[in-house]
Structure formats: C-alpha cells, structure tokens
A and B are shown apart, each in its own frame.
Chain A
C-alpha cells in the first residue's frame, strides 16, 4: 500500500519542494490549497506522472469542519502552512488558531503521523555561552512575547502541538528548520542584518548563520514523516558548512551584486539594542520596539548549530552543498542591486 500524505502550505516556497520530494518517492499526496492560482503555479513545476499522484483540495486551514474529511485515511500530515509576515495578532489568527484546529482534526482522524514544521528560532539562547552549541536539548525561549511576531507565533504553535500530543495522543514529530533559502528568496535575511531604507545594517558578520537550502530542508522534512520510531522527537535542520554574513556579502559582490551596508561590530550589537529598547520604552513607542537585548542575543549571538540528530535519526545528508546552494540562489536574483 502506498503512503498517503496530507500537506498544508504545499504551494509555498518550501511546500513546492516538499511536494516534489514526496512525489519522487511514489507517495500519494493530498495538498490543501486556498487559491486556484497557487495550484496552477505548483502544478506547472511537476511532471504529468507526478501530477497523477497529487490531489489538490481547495479549502481553508481555518475551516476545521472540512479538514477532518480531508484527513481520513492519511498516513502522514506535513503541516507547513504559516503566515510569514504581518502583525502579531494577524500571525496568531492565520497561523496559531488554524493550526490548533488542524491538529485536533488530525488527532480525531487518527492519522499515522503529524509532522509539524516549527522553526529554529524558537530556541532561547540565554542558557548558551558564545560559540556554544545549539541543538535539540536547548530550551525553548521562555519569554516568547519579547521576540518578533513570527517567532512568537511559532513558539505558541509548537507548544499547542505538544499540548495536543499529551491530551489527544497526536503522533507528533517536530522539525525545526533554520533559515530556508534558495532561488526566489533573499539571502540577506534578518540573521545577516536589518534593513534601514536602502541600507543594510550588517550585524557582526563572523557568526555562523543557521541556513538550510530549500531542497535539503524538504528532504529532511520528508524523512521525518517516513522514518519509523520518530514520534515525540524534535529534529533541527541546518546544512553543513554554514555560511557567515561576510561570506554571503562577498559572494554577492563577487557576482556583481551591489549591497549598501553599514557594519555594526558584534560587541556593539547588544548594548546598542538595549539602548534602543530603553529609548523605545521611554518615548512610549515613538520608535517601535523592534530591537532589544533579548532579541539581539537570540538573533545574532555567535553559536554553533548542530545537525547531528537529523543525520543520525533520519539518515539525512544535505545533498546540495552550501557553496552550491548559495551560487544557485545568487544566480536566481534579479538585477544587480540587492536590498
């Protein structure tokens, strides 16, 4: 009997690669999608043979009533759908609230496994020393409300998943990918620095960035749903040979891309962030509270990132090297100016 997988967020950046990975393994995929445009875009990347094993179901993640019908007979749920931007309440409304409904429906439908895609950002780094190793044993940030809206919502979303595993026996596996990159996504994420108009405030530059190439990440997620005995486990996904901000900027410039940046030395990041937060509080939000000591430590503290568990438990190997991944991504960037 072939495996049946149910995928949410399957028409997004990571989701489209996951569909290809699953379909390449002869898995039958049921994919929830909201709009016909996104379905057409996803189908255009698949061969007729792959399309034969793929069924799109039109619907909304927030519509919990119909979800249970779609989940009947499903072996593995891959839950990727999440809002990537917006205000905190919007993130919660579009990510956390529907995730709760989906997880409850999955538990009721007695799916074989529920793979929840969380984020490497959920960890709190206060317990780690500089250049310490972040792995699956590192605790989740105990002050999630002090983080950015995306991370706050991901921490809450994951805590609900664990809660429902306890209450309803949800067969949960949590994957925490690092920053996912690839053609079509900017390499200059907030891990490298902050945008200030056309300028990039480059935060440090020598620290390793927890990046994972989109195809490598999709492969790890696929394996998390299929590898026996993974229920109740957490797996971090980052590539080998992690890049630094300096390396990314060097590669971009070497390939003729212009990046206007202002370097903030590592030693100055946290004190400046704390100063900014103090002013933001004093001025009652005249400048928004986007920076704080807590946020800057979580984002730019120099750490090592382990992918040992993914390699050991899932027998995963990043097939695309970081050098190759960066080159492919840069080749896909439009124009010469990168901001």
Chain B
C-alpha cells in the first residue's frame, strides 16, 4: 500500500488519442502525479510530455518502469498488446489500468487477472461511463426503487463512420482496430454493453441479432444485439448512420429512465397512476418537471465546473487509486471484467455464425434449401 500522504505515481503507456483523455483526467486528481509517458514513437511520447508537462518520456516501457518507478501504469496502447503488456507490467510490480477493450478475448483476460492475483496487484478496465455522473444518478434512482425492478435496458451508440474517429478506421485498412477479432465493434461496444450488464442479473444471457456491413464499406459496421436473460433483457444498437451519441434507456416495472450521456440529462418517467385522459396531461407535466430539473442540475454543475466529457474517467481513476492506496477492492471487479469480455467473445462468435449462415442462405436461395434459411430466420 502507498501511504495516503504520498501521491500515486502514474505512468501512461501509449500516447495516442485516448491517452490525451487519461492524462487530462489524471491531472485533475490531487492525489496522483504523472511521472512518465511512453510510446514506441518518440514523437508521440514527446508531444504528450510537452503538452501535459510530464517530466519524463520514453520509447521503451521496461526502461520507463525502471527509471520512473510508477505505482500505476495506464495501458492505452492498441488492444492487441493489452494482455502481454499488462502481464509484464504486473510482474514488474505495477498496478495496471487497462483501456477498453480489456483484452482480445476472455482467455487472455483470465490470464491477466490470474497474474494480477498472483502478484498481489490490482487491475482495472476503462469502463468509465459506469462512473459518469449521469449514470450514477440513474443507478441511485434505480436503487431508490423509482422505476421498480429493472426489466429491460436499451443501449445505443452512434458512431459516424466519417467522424473524427470513424474516418481514421474506415480510411486505413491497416488500422489496428480493423485487425481486431471483433473488428470495429471490439473497440466500441464495451461502453453500451457494460451499461446493460451493470443492471442485468444474468451473467451470460442468450444472444440474438447480428452485424452487417453498410454499402460502400468492406468490413462490418452496424450491429444490433438482443440479450435475453431469465426475466430481464437488453438491446444494444451500434450504428455508423447515427451522429455521435450515447444513450441508454432503463425500463422498470413501474417506470422508465432515459440517460443521455452527451447532454448529461436524465428523464424519469414513472408509469402514470391517473386514469384515462388525465394520464395524457400528467405525462407532459412530468416532462416539464424533468426539463426543469435537468436545467437546474446542469446550471449548478456548470457553476461548479463539473461538466466534463470524461468525468466518469476521472471518478473511475480516483476510485482505482483509492483502492490501491487504502487496500480496498478495485472499482470494476475482476469477475465483471471477465464477464463482459466473455460476453463480447460470445457476441462476436454469434455474429460470425450468423454472417456465415446468411451467406450460405443467399448462395443457396435459388435451389430452395429450406434448412439454413429457417434456422436463420429463427435466430433473427
């Protein structure tokens, strides 16, 4: 454990786009200091060090660990390197924060978690939206029973393919995201997925749905997945046709909550108890109250300079550092990391099988082969 009077020494390995978010949020934490940044490209490491006033930049992580002696290393490299690098860092005596996706598959995730346990070190994954102020409010309302028991969670991610991030992936066939087993989705669906699993009791629900490729692209770009549990369900939509947006809707037995992460607004709609036409008046009245609450809440937060796109990241880092410093359990439990990684494996396997069956069906359509087609429609 690190004494509470000392600052946690943090290093960031990988100085690409997401590292900027990590560095800016770590700098907001009083109990932490960034002691080094590292990237295989000297110029990337240099620019990060200059912009965030980091005293040391390196191109080799072994040297960085030896010289800078960080307590925690944030791993913001391409996902293909997460498992091997995390294992080396854990064995070198560092706690590790891994950007999502945690690893390429659940087997690698188990390996990393086992090494962490064997070395007495903590690992956390970048499921930062679980610590977003809007999500925390939603969770509070759910726990207060304002919508009864949660029955369905709907999660949407809009990711325009010609946007800031999408264009880089679609424009470069060699981009590391394109080479992931789950392609574009492996790097993106963690967020909408863990927003579902966070409220879903079933560890591994049944999976339906699939992915498809939009015209003009040569890799799958759209995904629609349904998760069916014992008495809960979830639906995940990833669309490159939508503008950038992160929305979740939680349906309960007595009401519903809408969360818009981008505007930091929530809408609580309990089921109306008024009869007939009165209900039609109550619903818009509730919307007015919701709007006023959101306006007041966001004004209050703006005044306290508490509106940040990566606010969840800061709170998650803080919680992780606290667990290192005070000896608690990490904010994202190892079981949850493994659960989400395995669920992603299953989703990609399912989509690949669906794709294969759809291709076969299309190929054999002319000869009226009913077997696979019936199976596909049943699955869909």
Contact = CB atoms under 8 A, between A and B. Distances in A.
Contacts of A92: 41, 43-44, 47
Interface string B39-54: 0010110111011000
Contacts of A311: none
Interface stretch (B13-21, B91-99, B218-226, B240-248): B13-21
A89 B44 contact: yes
A96 to B, nearest CB: 5
Interface stretch (B3-11, B300-308, B354-362, B367-375): B300-308
11 contacts: A34-B171, A87-B20, A88-B47, A89-B15, A90-B16, A90-B17, A90-B168, A92-B47, A93-B41, A160-B43, A285-B24
Contacts of A89: 15-17, 19-20, 44, 47-48
B48 A284 contact: no
Q: Most chain-B CB neighbours within 10 Å: which of A89, A90, A283, A284?
A: A89
B44 A93 contact: yes
A144 B50 contact: yes
B17 A87 contact: yes
Interface string A267-288: 0000000000000001111100
Contacts of B48: 89
Q: How large is the interface on B (under 10, 10 to 19, 20 to 34, 35 or more residues)?
A: 20 to 34
A60 interface: yes
Nearest to B76: A89
B251 to A, nearest CB: 33
Contact of B308 (A97, A156, A160, A285): A285
Nearest to B43: A96
B305 A284 contact: yes
Contacts of B172: 60
A167 to B, nearest CB: 14
Interface of B: 15-17, 19-20, 24, 27-28, 41, 43-44, 46-48, 50-51, 164, 168, 171-172, 174, 302, 305-308
A60 B174 contact: yes
B43 A97 contact: yes
Interface string A22-63: 000000000000110000000000000000000000001000
Interface string A292-311: 00000000000000000000
Contacts of B168: 86, 90
A323 interface: no
Nearest to A143: B50
A176 to B, nearest CB: 20
Interface residues of A, number: 24
Interface in A147-166: 152-153, 156, 160
A96 B291 CA distance: 47
Contacts of B305: 282-284, 286
Given A60-B174, A87-B20, A92-B47, 18 more contacts: A86-B164, A87-B17, A88-B20, A88-B51, A89-B19, A90-B17, A92-B41, A92-B44, A93-B44, A96-B47, A97-B41, A97-B44, A282-B305, A284-B28, A284-B305, A285-B308, A286-B306, A286-B307
Contacts of B171: 34-35
Contacts of A100: 43
A156 B41 contact: no
B22 to A, nearest CB: 11
A69 interface: no
A241 interface: no
A156 B44 CA distance: 11
A299 to B, nearest CB: 19
Nearest to A160: B43
A300 to B, nearest CB: 22
A145 interface: yes
A316 to B, nearest CB: 32
Interface string A66-89: 000000000000000000001111
Contact of A156 (B47, B164, B174): B47
A185 B156 CA distance: 35
Nearest to A287: B305
Interface string A112-139: 0000000000000000000000000000
Nearest to B50: A145
B173 to A, nearest CB: 10
Contact of B47 (A34, A152, A282, A284): A152
A318 B305 CA distance: 50
Contacts of A34: 171
Contacts of A87: 17, 20, 164
A216 to B, nearest CB: 30
A23 B27 CA distance: 52
A148 to B, nearest CB: 12
Contact of A286 (B27, B174, B302): B302
Nearest to A85: B164
A145 B47 contact: yes
Nearest to A94: B168
Nearest to B46: A156
Contacts of B16: 89-90, 93
Contacts of A284: 27-28, 305, 308
A156 B28 contact: no
B171 to A, nearest CB: 8
Nearest to A157: B43
B38 to A, nearest CB: 13
A264 to B, nearest CB: 23
Contacts of B47: 88-89, 92, 96, 145, 152-153, 156
A291 to B, nearest CB: 16
Q: Most chain-A CB neighbours within 10 Å: which of B44, B171, B306, B307?
A: B44
A311 B149 CA distance: 77
Contacts of B302: 286
Interface string A246-260: 000000000000000
